[in-house]
Structure 1
Amino acid sequence: MTRRTEQHPDPTDPRIGAALFSTWRVGTSERQRQTGEVIGRVWERRPWPTRDLLGYHVYAGRDGSTLMHYSQWTGERAYESFVGTHRQERVDEIDTAVPGIDRVGLVRYRRYRSRERAAGDTRVPGLIVTVRIDFEDGARERREEWVDLAVKALGDDPVGHAGLVSAHFHLSTDGGHVLNYAEWESAGAYEAAMAAPSTDSWERVRAYPGLRKVTGSSYEHTLGLVPE
């Protein structure tokens, strides 16, 4: 069966073979809330579709109009099987309850590296920030090198990033970009980190050759679904 959880997902779970992120545009904060409630009801009244789905989480964008979806799978083939057998009935019921959802698209990733939660750190993240880093065609093969620099920069600046709980760097399977899924103690902690003076390590990250575009979004975790 399906059960709700308030626990945030663990992106470092070694069982994860495919991390899938997508965005829905729903228009207003009221429709954000309504859509989240409907998703929970639709999933809870059905059996968990497969043990290959490790968890499904929904986040409300602080922009008041979007929802981010993060699902953890043992592999992409398991997701394709779900699409062929279980997905559409859920989508249809959600769309009947909340018409007009704009599904922007789904992107598949594999996690490359993390700045993991420190041992004994029991903080519950109050803010999730995703940062998408797009690379020029000629720099795509250097995505891992860029992530290595970013992880080093985090390690070199523990005071400036004291409010960071963890950061998880994912590589898109199409080869085009990196997605950083970062857990922050609070919105205030994130804003303080962004306002802090830069470091030499961070300047090297920002000036890395081949970066095309950097896009950030912030969310609050609103729904977690896992197998019973």
Structure 2
Amino acid sequence: MPQRTASAPPDIRRADSTAAHVAQWYVPDRQAGVEALKTAAEQWRATPWPAGILSFSAYLSTGFDTALTYVQTADAGAHRAFTAGLSGLAGAATVQYALHRAIVLDPGAPAPASFVVASFDVDGPDPQQRVVASIAGALEQAPAGAHPGMISANFHLSADGSRVLNYAEWTTDEAHVAFLDGATRAATLRATHDTPGVRPIGFKRFHLLHGLTA
């Protein structure tokens, strides 16, 4: 299947996506991260996609220490078969997730420029769902305008029941930095720590460097 370069980030909530495959790699500095993601994107661009692969996105953390790839598929098996022939970050082992719940706070916002990925280690499917419900509740119960710049929060559950990932879209890095000192952030932290069987791994801010869509 031919693919095209996308200037915008992926449509995280697209209806035909049934799985998201996420890889995170440590990189020593900005140059190494840029080069690793460029090489990965070139491999994905040069190799015809099988049916079932929908998008490939590559991000570098604002601290220049983590490269992340996010692949959407309509067929998880197609991803495994395709990446078996790729090398480096392009074919890196991934954690398979499915989008479980999305909260869109500003549907009229421009395309996001900052992406915050927060991860949680959990003890199975029940804590997965409970921590998402708790954090989502804290966001939805916050007063209007309590977190300006947050466009959406997209909660993913890993297929093996061991992880939760929140892919949040923001207008700017600065908007997220301001959020960290606010009441809503404190409420989400309480929700996380009050949920048994959940251990926060942390978060990082990312910028999109490459995007491809089917």
Q: How high is the TM-score relative to the length of structure 2?
A: 0.87
1 CA distance for matches of 2:186 and 2:46?
Answer: 52
RMSD after superposition: 2.3
Equivalent of 1:147 in 132, 135, 140? 132
Partner SS, residue 195 of structure 1: coil
The aligned amino acid for 1:40 is A
* Structure-to-structure mapping, 1:1-228, within 5 angstroms: 1-47=2-48, 49-83=49-83, 87-88=84-85, 90-91=86-87, 105-116=93-104, 118-119=106-107, 121-135=108-122, 137=123, 140-157=125-142, 158-198=144-184, 202=188, 203-227=190-214
Cα deviation, 1:86-123, whole Å, max 9, x if unaligned, reads: x42x41xxx5xxxxx7x87410011110112534x132
1 CA distance for matches of 2:207 and 2:105?
Answer: 18
**Preserved contact between residue 138 and residue 184 of structure 2 (Cα < 8 Å):** no
Structure 1: gaps (5+ residues): 96-100
Cα deviation, 1:112-138, whole Å, max 9, x if unaligned, reads: 10112534x132212111111112x3x
Identity %: 24
1 CA distance for matches of 2:145 and 2:210?
Answer: 31
**Preserved contact between residue 116 and residue 205 of structure 2 (Cα < 8 Å):** yes
The aligned amino acid for 1:46 is T
Structure 2: gaps (5+ residues): none
Instruction: Assess, with a 3 A threshold, how the Cα gap between structure 1 residues 104 and 217 changes in structure 2: closer, same or farther.
Output: farther
Q: How high is the TM-score relative to the length of structure 1?
A: 0.82
The aligned amino acid for 2:154 is H
More moved, 204-213 vs 74-83: 204-213
Aligned residues: 210
Larger Rg: 1
